[in-house]
Amino acid sequence: MRFVNKPFDTIMKNILFIITFLSTYNFSFSQKLLKGKIYDFERVIPIEYCNIGVENKDLGSLSNSNGEFSLDTSQIAKNDTILFSHLGYKNFKVSFKKLKEKLKTKDTLFLSSSSIVLDDVKIENYKFSKKMIYGYDFRHPRVNWSFKNFRSGSEICRYFENKNILIIDKLIFQVNKNELKNLKLRVNFYDIVNGKPNEKLNIEDIFIETKHHQGRLKFNLKNYNIILDSDFFISLEAVDVEGNGEFLFGGEWFGENSEEGKTYARKSSFDVWADEFTTDGSNIKQKVPHSIAIRLKTRINTK
């Protein structure tokens, strides 16, 4: 090995080149993030955990508790449509090109509240007296569910067959491993179209947290008065991920030919729901007869 002494000015030129390159690289990288805020038009307050993304693509984000959002634009085409969606508000769609123009002049976007007009409603007095358990009877000790990169907007849901009129009292699921500082989840109930999750059924956000917890988690949902009268999906959507590490939901076996317990997942808010998953770390996807282990304690109408 032979060492060559370089002149001082040559060394300084090399150092300056490296500094310039790194500065340019960092600047270019930062330009891939589109930042803004999303607010309630009438009340002029931030909208927390608003779903933001490109329809049918794994490209999206959520606003934080202050209504602030950042969107990775490195894979978004100028003609792509960006969607903003939140319970209680009208969906807002805008082309990526126009969104960039809007945020150049003003960093805040507004959503208008939506009103629901009901037809004639027949009010019935339900009598929820009989307790019934929905979901897993036996949690499989070696089945785990997780996303390779758990981020805000990641969502996983389970199918429930329902022939009753029921009210949800309690949600139970298993956390097999939790290395995160905290994971805040939004609980969503969906109706079903063509066997897949469709529109949300709940009329308000339901948030639960798994801070420092592992094992069997129970959450009381009585105050939300969730009444269901047909088959449905229930999902757990990550809205705020704190820290780094692995997070594993417990799973169950539901049978290869069974619809009950069927699981769908998506990586971001407007991604396509998928029921095929990579199970061995390869790029080969396969349908798996396993489900996220969710249990519901309910009371059914006996009138």
Each residue of 54-84: pLDDT tens digit?
Answer: 988 888 889 999 999 998 888 898 889 999 9
Q: Which residues contact 59 (CB under 8 A, 6 or more apart)?
A: 53, 71, 72, 75, 76, 80, 268
- Tell me how far apart the alpha carbons of residues 149 and 299 are, in angstroms, rounded to a whole number: 37
- Tell me how far apart the alpha carbons of residues 244 and 115 are, in angstroms, rounded to a whole number: 40
120 pLDDT more than 90: no
- Helix (H) / strand (E) element for 100: namely helix 96-105
Highest mean pLDDT among 10-24, 147-161, 279-293: 147-161
117 pLDDT more than 70: no
**9 in the Ramachandran plot: left (φ > 0), alpha (ψ -120 to 50) or beta?**
alpha
| pLDDT, averaged across the chain | 82
Pairing of strands 60-62, 247-253: unpaired
The terminus-to-terminus CA distance of the chain in angstroms comes to 90
- Tell me how far apart the alpha carbons of residues 251 and 292 are, in angstroms, rounded to a whole number: 4
The DSSP string of 153-167 is T-EEEEEE---S-EE
What is the per-residue pLDDT across 126-153, written as a single tens digit (0 to 9) for each? 899 999 999 887 777 778 887 767 788 8
Counting every residue, how long is the chain? 303
- Tell me how far apart the alpha carbons of residues 170 and 219 are, in angstroms, rounded to a whole number: 6
Tokens of residue 195, six digits:
């066997």
Taking every pair of C-alpha atoms in the chain, what is the biggest distance, in angstroms? 93
Higher pLDDT, residue 164 or 33: 164
Q: What pLDDT shows up at residue 291?
A: 84
Is residue 61 within 8 Å of residue 152, measured between CB atoms?
yes
Q: What is the pTM of this model?
A: 0.82
Higher pLDDT, residue 290 or 237: 237
Q: What pLDDT shows up at residue 243?
A: 86
Tokens of residue 214, six digits:
């592992």
Distances (CA, A) of 122 to 59, 118, 206: 42, 11, 27
Mind listing the domains of the chain with CATH numbers? 34-111 (2.60.40.1120), 128-301 (2.60.120)
Q: Which residues contact 212 (CB under 8 A, 6 or more apart)?
A: 178, 181, 182
Helix (H, G, I), strand (E, B) or coil at 238: strand
Helix (H, G, I), strand (E, B) or coil at 222: helix
Q: Which residues contact 7 (CB under 8 A, 6 or more apart)?
A: none
Unique residue bearing structure tokens 């991920």? 241
Percent of the chain predicted with pLDDT > 90: 45
Q: What pLDDT shows up at residue 5?
A: 45
Is residue 303 within 8 Å of residue 138, measured between CB atoms?
no
